[in-house]
Structure 1
Amino acid sequence: MGNLNIKLGTNIKLAKTKLLFFLFFIGISNYAQEVSVDIHLNVLHTIGTNSTFERSKFITIHANQLEKDWDGDNFTPDLRNDFLNGYDVYLGRDTGGITWILNNVEEDPTRLGFADPTDIASRGENSRNSFASQSKLHSYENRKNLVIAAQLHPFWTGESQKATTKGWKIASPTATGEYMGRYFNEFHGQNGQKQPAWVEVINEPAYEALGGKKDYTHSLQEIADFHVEVADAIRAQNSNLKIGGYTAAFPDFETGDFQRWMNRDKLFVDVAGEKMDFWSWHLYDFPAIGGKTDLRSGSNVEATFDMMDQYSMLKLGHTKPYVISEYGAQTHDYDRQGWTAMRDWLFLKVQNSLMMSFMERPDDITIAIPFTIVKAEWGYNHEKGYPYSARLMRKTNEPESYTGTWIYTDRVKFYQLWKNVKGKRIAIKATDFDIQVDAYVDGKKGYIILNSLESIPTQINLNFFDSYSTQISAIVKKHLTLSGVAPILEQENISPSTTNVVLGAESTMILEYTFENEITIDETSDEVKYFADDYLKPINASKASFFHINNVEKTGVFGEAVLRISIGREHGKQLIPTLKVNDKIIKVPEDWRGYDQADKGQFFGTLEIPVPYDLIKTNNEIFVEFPDFGGHISSTVMQVFNFSDDFSTLGVMESPIDRIKINLFPNPANKSFQVKLPTQYLGASFIMYNTSGVKLSQQVISKENTLI
């Protein structure tokens, strides 16, 4: 970071507490591993209606406090307290209780294939009374944003149906739903656990039944019909529950050139969409599968959300919230063996990358639960002698032997990293799509979150903007990265004057700032998404596709816009189109979040394209053209950021000429001020203009310091 001291000339007036200039740089040397991040401390970033970090949505575990896994020979006498309260973690999901009861409940003697209501009520009363007597568990009820899901068997009534352990089979989807509704009435509420926040009709019903991950020919019709009937039957017993599905293991829309989307997810929206309160997904990266890398993180997961949202708007007239009831990494090449730190690392890096995308949708994501089980001793393979892989805890002597006291696996490092984060969301932006950023302010505290999708380390230049004199008194740096074959969480106090840090490859850093005074937040950036009037258009060579994005609201004269065009194409096809917005040619960045998806069947991702705010109208026409044939434009979405003032900063890294807009905060006493510029601009010549376009000077910024 270089410091540029500027003397105010006669053409510059101190009319505001902050000034804005345009700097045009010539002859810039770019550094591929150097990224600028602009942080606006006093600007509240609201997404839809949400402007805070909600830990109950994002800092979660796939567990319920009633599980016996919390007890036993642990390193601490109270594991629940140490983990849930110690790291401020929320409980996320339970699939065991509702399934165990159905397997053991008696069949109704007067209605074959239905669970006996009397037996359900008796078992429910016993369960509630047992919970009421365990007072030490009651305080954790406020840590529940709980999802309850039915396992595939014995709930499923279609082909491959299995009987309960009592030997009888569910008669129909209506019988399944009736049991579930009665279960929630009898086992929850009154003196028992509170009612669940979300109910998944069934867990991953398509995983076994429809031919696996690569299939795109089988229809989801039977599963969609099942969801409709079950949801109706649940609501007949309990109308207050939020019900969703279809708990998709692999929402791979692009497979078979979007035939999988047509036969599964689109069909589900068409058949069951009106009955669902939310969409339920499981999202996993495959960072090690047969020596290859097949990832959702980055542009792929962005395209997946955008396509579902856009079709929901077209079909239903609104989007629906998401329950991400499992996410993380499936580590195929490291499974079926003892515990390894490297396997934990593969999960951790994905967990952070996917969560950063979820956090950009706080209005849409109701909860996101990493697939981390407390101990999962039920999953221990006694025949081959290896434990379940997705665990929070391990035995001290693993992997040499499955013995010793229970201690944390390295997955706890995620919770240690995020332990303190809270507050109001403030505006932050990076100059590279592969650096995911977020930021929050809470009184005198600030939290800057940096996550890398890059495979090499990156220098991050931190540019703070504020309308007030905000002094930093301390910075704590937490850096979750890989050291050798194990994840490490580096934590250190760094100098309050620090203006750049090095973010490790595929690593996450949280910088916790302490300021001398509470941060004043008095500006706003309000973000809204708008969806085009059409979707899933085939790409024809040199033939334009047109989309219309209408009813866009611009609340003022300042802001930004990003056009999100998602595409699915075979590898080797052109990914960068010719683009016009309202008949103006727009340059499309030749970059996107994450990697090139080379090990996936085809590319499916979102291009995020800055569009001048003043070009956006109430009704907008989008022109998209590719030079070659094949694939589809899956969705077209516009993000609009309405600003309360012109505090935007642009860092478009193009050579030989860059146009950068910088806020400057003057000192009226000596008519000078200092602006900190990214080091890639040192040694460049530039022309300075004021906001009216008047040329002020032309200088060279020296590698040391230049007065103007």
Structure 2
Amino acid sequence: MLNRTHLSSRNRSALALTVLLTAGLQGCGGRSGDSDSASSTSSSQQSVSSSSQTSASSSSSMSASSSSSSAAASEGATQVYIDSGVTRTVGDADSFHREAFITLHASHTEQDWWLGENAESVGGDNLMAEFVTKYDVYFGRDTGGMAWQLSQVPEDPEKPGYADDEAIESRGNDATGWYSARQDVRGPIQRAQEHRNQQMIVAAQQHPYWPNGTPTGQGWAFSQIDTPEEPLGTATGQYMSQFLKHFFRQSEGEPGQPKPLYAEVMNEPLWELVTVAEDPVDLTTIFEFHNTVAKEVRALNPDVLLGGYTAAFPDFEKDNFNRWEERDKHFLDVAGSNMDFISLHLYDFPDFTDNGVPVKRYRKGANMEATLDMLNHYTDLSFGEEIPLIISEYGAQVHRLRNEPWFPYRDWLTINSINSMMMAFMERPHQVEKALPFITVKAEWGRISPTVPYNFRLMRQQFEAEGETGEEWVYTELVKLYELWKDVEGIRLDTAANDPDLRVDAYRSDTETFIIVNNLDFEAQEFALNFRDGAAPAEIQTKQLFLGDQELPLHDRTPMIENQTYSELPQTLTLEPEATMVIRYSNTGNAPQGELQETNYYANTYKQPIESAQPITFEVDDINTSAEGFAILRVGLGREHGLSLQPEITVNDEPVTVPTDWRGGDQYLDGKGRESFFGVIEVPLPVELIDVNNTVRIEFPDSGGYVSSLAIRYGASTTALLRPQTAF
């Protein structure tokens, strides 16, 4: 396993900070669409997309004089804490890394950017450059380029089942030379944006890479020989290695596009080779194939990081955790030590069918926390560290809506899942090397029928929207994701909330502060902002992305962006169901002086069976404690619905209060949710309760299921924090 320094890390000195006071927030707030409060100033989202989107936005300005100034107005609201005096570092990551999180599942060279009548479409021939510069977006992932070149390469006449190395080198030289020399409309545009493609991911597909006799475009198939001298996958790995060696710039000053930084051995191999296969392939064979391919690729490309197994549906808890044992744990045991990263695909299923019954199965919230914690706990026990993660696809799969023409509500399901999941990944900036929302460009290659396009597209044709005509390509509603996040940057500040259903993050640039609040709840949430004494801004701007048209049937509603300016700090703001808000303001007060170093400390064991009235003991040792900071116990649970999620817990023999809430909604959903509960219960602890070495005991009143993971998330601070010790 290779050691890498996170690209966004910066060293900052520790400075003492005086004791803080919480600012009392008085004033007014809430969203208002009343015409008498609308401002005539321009609204940035009006230029986001096609004509259907300009009507889906509003801009307004509000001051304290337009509503109540009663202090009681914030009672009952969720309290959000923005500590502008303290920077927050996780591992070595202390700032917002746009290259990792504000991304698109595309490359800067793919044909989609120039597909269609560009002169009459949004951006024209300059679509790609216009989009990525306006919204500051980075690439990407490519699963097609390597496959296309393979379809053109002949078999080695001297070595059956292997690609002809000389042909690969020749085609690669042509490709790199053409990229650097071309002067048509595409060439200069591509080269001008290649800096956004420095962390590219390439991935193989099952066919024809998996050696089972599937022919390439030239009629030959990869070798199926499997001997100690030539293990299965050698031929596949050698082709991938030659491709990476010859089709990209190898060093500064050479021709060609930037070389991919990451390679996934295979995209979602188990779905087709095992899950839905009539004759499933042995899992060990697939995982050893990963080892073989990784070895071959590294032989010529030591600068490329290898990973897998790119799990399509990492349902660890399935069949009482047998899925974890048979697949994910087994992969780590067989191939984990040879992987530079673990790659995952994570999707919500907000409109799924199980045996003809509509269900909703969400990952966002506690389920995804449990998935990542269990993976991290096991890798920490096995390898002594959290293995880096690549989330090369994530968002929402909209099964029951898949075979319908484009409509805005389907885009909303993708948008709200992406926002919630992205903020979870941003909680792990030291570990998540890259997270790619599954948004393609135009994706005509995936069209289902003449009237049903591929679902996950940045662009659509005008005629696809009700009331519109024309062949021109315009943005879908998915562009609003990038509009929401387009200016966010800066050093990370400490944040917290007293409700786990509100995810909060904040960043301070040289001139502005950005607060991001995401609602995991299916109901609107009122919240109040709390700042250090003297740090509260006088004026704020808010941008909320939510599902509008509340008066219409659900499937007729459209995602909207609403911009507002408040001339005085409102006492409360309202966040719509599953919505996300970005709050920005000019920096106030001095630059942060305090530092918070956050670390996850994992217990000495994981995946412990639950038996009634039988305490389960965990040891969490070697914590770097401090006089100030925070501590949150994270307990992963996998249990059948109806069993207790309220164990008795002691930490160092002291009883602690277990919250009755967790991130995200009720996983049961009246029998139409997940098949069982799998989630993390987060328990805020007094920081003084934590020692260097700690004993945690958990006892349930009933039997069944597992404590899947246990960790203490500990923040060691150089100063007292704004957040109360009961906050998440």
TM-score (norm 1): 0.85
Sort the Cα spacing of 1:342 and 1:185 in 2 relative to 1 into closer, same or farther, 3 A. same
Q: Could you say which residue in structure 1 is the equivalent of 2:87?
A: 44
Match of 2:565 in 1: 493
Residue 375 of structure 1 and its aligned partner are, at CA, apart by 0.2
Residue 19 to residue 407, structure 1, CA distance change in 2 (3 Å): closer
Shift of residue 474, structure 1, vs aligned partner = 3.4
Preserved contact between residue 81 and residue 722 of structure 2 (Cα < 8 Å): no
Structure 2 counterpart of 1:691: none
Q: CA deviation at 1:470?
A: 3.9
* Residue pair 2:630, 2:725 contacting (<8 A) in 1 also: no
Distance of 1:17 and 1:365 partners within structure 2: 34
Q: For residue 678 of structure 2, give the secondary structure of its aligned residue in structure 1.
A: strand
Shift of the alpha carbon at 1:404? 1.7
Change (3 A) 1:122 1:238: same
Q: Name 1:670's counterpart in structure 2.
A: none
Pair 461,470 (structure 1): closer, same or farther in 2 beyond 3 Å: closer
* Other-structure match for 1:703: none
Question: Is 2:453 the counterpart of 1:387?
Answer: yes
Match of 1:589 in 2: 659
Per the alignment, residue 3 of structure 2 pairs with none
1:63 counterpart residue number = 106
Pick aligned residue for 2:235 from 159, 175, 191: 175
Q: Who is 2:597 aligned against?
A: 526
Tell whether 2:172 aligns with 1:124.
yes
Counterpart of 2:561, as a letter, is: L
1:65-123 deviation line (CA, Å, top 9, x unaligned): 11111114222221112210010000110111101111221000000000000110111
Q: What is the distance in 2 between the residues matched to 1:143 and 1:96? A: 19
Aligned match for 2:274, one of 202, 207, 210:
210
Aligned residue for 2:172, secondary structure, equals helix
Moved over 6 A (4+): 28-33
The Cα of 1:402 is off from its aligned counterpart by 8.7
The reply on whether 1:164 has 2:164 as its aligned counterpart is no
Question: Is 1:101–2:149 an aligned residue pair?
Answer: yes
State whether residues 684 and 725 of structure 2, in contact with CA within 8 Å, keep that contact through their aligned partners in structure 1: no
Q: 2:694 pairs with 620, 627, 642, which one?
A: 620
Report the AA paired with residue 122 of structure 2.
Answer: F
Alignment of 1:115-264 (within 5 A): 115-133=163-181, 134-144=187-197, 145-158=199-212, 161-171=213-223, 172-189=232-249, 190-212=254-276, 220-264=283-327
**Cα deviation code 1:347-399 (max 9, x no counterpart):** 000000000100000000000000000000111234x5311111000001104
Q: Distance in 1 between matches of 2:93 and 2:83?
A: 18
Q: Distance in 1 between matches of 2:320 and 2:166?
A: 51
Equivalent-residue separation in structure 1 for 2:205 and 2:711 (angstroms): 35
3-state SS of the aligned residue for 1:362? coil
C-alpha separation between the residues in 2 aligned to 1:33 and 1:86? 39
Quick one: distance in 2 between partners of 1:632 and 1:32? 38
Pick aligned residue for 2:123 from 52, 76, 94: 76
Alignment of 1:74-473 (within 5 A): 74-77=121-124, 78-133=126-181, 134-144=187-197, 145-158=199-212, 161-171=213-223, 172-189=232-249, 190-212=254-276, 220-290=283-353, 291-382=358-449, 385-399=451-465, 403-466=470-533, 469-470=534-535, 472-473=537-538
Distance 2:276 2:579 in 1: 32
Superposition RMSD on alpha carbons, in Å? Answer: 2.3
Residues in 2 aligned to 1:258 and 1:360: alpha-carbon distance in whole angstroms: 26
1:564 and 2:634 correspond: yes
Q: Which residue of 2 aligns with 1:656?
A: none
Cα distance in 2 for partners of 1:81, 1:235 equals 33
Alignment size in residue pairs: 626
Displacement of 1:473: 4.9
Structure 2 residue runs without a partner (length 5+): 1-16, 25-70, 182-186, 224-231, 550-556
Residue pair 1:445, 1:512 contacting (<8 A) in 2 also: yes
Q: Distance in 2 between matches of 1:461 and 1:31?
A: 6
Rounded Cα–Cα distance in structure 1 between residues aligned with 2:622 and 2:270? 38
Query: 8 Å contact 2:74–2:527 — kept in the other structure?
Result: no
> Is 2:344–2:391's contact at 8 Å kept on the other side of the alignment?
yes
In the alignment, is the contact (CA less than 8 A) between 1:531 and 1:549 conserved in 2?
yes
Residue aligned with 2:415, SS: helix
Deviations 1:672-696 (A, max 9, x none): xxxxxxxxxxxxxxxxxxxxxxxxx
Task: Give the AA of the match of 1:104.
Answer: Q
After TM superposition, give the deviation of residue 652 of structure 1 in Å. Answer: 4.8
CA distance in 2, matches of 1:317, 1:18: 37
Gapped regions of structure 1 (runs ≥ 5): 1-15, 654-659, 661-708
- For 1:204 and 1:465, locate their aligned partners in 2 and report how far apart those are by CA, in whole Å: 47
TM-score w.r.t. structure 2 length? 0.83
Distance change >3 Å, CA 500–CA 56, structure 1 → 2:
same
* Cα distance in 2, alignment partners of residues 362 and 331 from structure 1: 28
5 Å-filtered alignment, 1:657-672, equals none
Q: Is the 8 A contact 2:686 2:725 kept in 1?
A: no
Is 1:479 aligned with 2:544?
yes
* 2:617 aligned residue: 546
How far 1:265 moved relative to its partner? Answer: 0.4
Residue 497 of structure 1: how far off its partner (Å): 2.3
- TM-fit CA distance, 1:288: 0.8
Secondary structure of 2:441 counterpart: coil
Partners of 2:711 and 2:281 in 1: CA distance? 29
CA shift for structure 1 position 61:
0.1
CA contact (8 A) 1:431 1:651 kept: no
The residue type equivalent to 2:515 in the other structure is I
Please identify which structure carries the higher strand content.
1
In the aligned structure 2, how far is the partner of 1:415 from the partner of 1:559? Answer: 34
Distance across 1 between alignment mates of 2:18 and 2:207: 65
Does structure 2 retain, via aligned residues, the 8 Å contact 1:538–1:632? yes
Question: Which segment drifts farther, 344-353 or 637-646?
Answer: 637-646
The offset of 1:29, in angstroms, is: 10
1:604 aligns with 2:678: yes
Question: Which whole-Å deviations, capped at 9, do the CAs of 1:26-84 have from their partners, x for residues lacking one?
Answer: xx999997201011111101111111000000000000011111114222221112210
Counterpart-to-counterpart distance in 2, 1:642 and 1:615: 13
Which moved further from structure 2: 528-537 or 286-295?
A: 286-295
